[in-house]
Amino acid sequence: MTILLEVAVDDAPGLAEAVAGGADRVELCAALALGGLTPTLGLMRQAAGCGMPCYPIIRPRSGDFRFAAAEVEVMRADIRAARDCGLTGVVLGASRPDGRLDEAVLRLLVAEAAGMDLTLHRAIDLCPDKRAGVEQAIALGFRRILSSGGARSAAEGVETLATMMEQAGDRAVIMPGAGVSVESLAALRRLPLREIHASCSTPLPTDPLALSFGFQSGAEKRTDRGRVAALRAALAH
């Protein structure tokens, strides 16, 4: 069975690199260094014409996934914008203070995204009870759950990922993500993989002037077509 490769990108050049490298789907973001924020309207419009499915993450700020009412309204508006751009899926998540999924907020977001393909992002990794989180996500209508198995990387969380996959069965795809690369793929081979998530990125050069003004962190990366192609090839064997 062919394993679908989703690549996370956070700018227009990265989108082009993902397409050129042979990604199957793109998670469209801004600020991947912060875990991914809602992409700009311009990037969503450009992605809609790239020839492959592109799902924007709907996350209005960095930090936790506990959203105030005003932030939820922003997220609902961003979902409408994604739909208006012609994008057919979105990546969502929301947490309660104890890490459990915030069903009330997620119901509002899922209702706004009616008819779109739904991915639950790594808010699931904060859930104290992953089994309960998977069941909540499926009941809410998520077809896919992005997870590292509650660890810093998918390779480290492989045991939990295996349990989540067994639990979800054919009801939802558990998509490993976080630190996935050609090098770490061996640790995930034991899983019944259907989809996998990676950034396939390389460091960008630092501009000393931009760095001195605080316009650059010095840790910027960008998706690289060679890394995408290499992971695509590794998944085929």
Which pLDDT score is estimated for 216?
85
pLDDT digit string, tens, across residues 110-133: 999 999 999 999 999 999 999 999
Q: Give the separation between CA 50 and CA 200, rounded to whole angstroms.
A: 18
* 3-class SS shares of the chain: helix, strand, coil, % to 5: 40, 20, 40
Which residue is associated with the tokens 């997870």? 147
pLDDT in tens, the chain (237 residues): 789 999 999 999 999 999 999 999 999 999 998 999 999 999 999 999 999 999 999 999 999 999 999 999 999 999 999 999 999 999 999 999 999 999 999 999 999 999 999 999 999 999 999 999 999 999 999 999 999 999 999 999 999 999 999 999 999 999 999 999 999 999 999 999 999 999 999 998 889 999 899 888 888 899 999 999 999 999 998
pLDDT digit string, tens, across residues 51-78: 999 999 999 999 999 999 999 999 999 9
Q: Give the separation between CA 78 and CA 92, rounded to whole angstroms.
A: 11
Q: How many domains, in total, are found in the chain?
A: 1
Q: For 36, phi and psi rounded to 5 degrees?
A: 100, 125
Nearest of 156, 74, 83, 131 to residue 108 by alpha carbon: 74
> Domain range spanning residue 222?
4-235
| Contact by Cβ (8 Å): 47, 11 | no
Which pLDDT score is estimated for 214?
87
Record the tokens describing residue 154, joined without a space. Answer: 């998918």
Q: Give the separation between CA 43 and CA 87, rounded to whole angstroms.
A: 11
Question: 0.75 cut: is pTM over it?
Answer: yes
Strands 144-147 and 195-198: unpaired
| Contact by Cβ (8 Å): 100, 70 | no
Q: Give the separation between CA 9 and CA 32, rounded to whole angstroms.
A: 7
Report which secondary-structure segment, H or E, holds 89: strand 89-92
Which pLDDT score is estimated for 38?
98
CATH code where residue 141 lies: 3.20.20.380
Which pLDDT score is estimated for 48?
96
Which pLDDT score is estimated for 135?
98
**b (16+ CB within 10 A) / e for 216-233:** beeebebbbbebbbbbbe
Which pLDDT score is estimated for 201?
94
Work out whether the CA dihedral 141, 144, 146, 148 comes out positive or negative. positive
Distance of CA 227 to the CA centre of its chain: 18
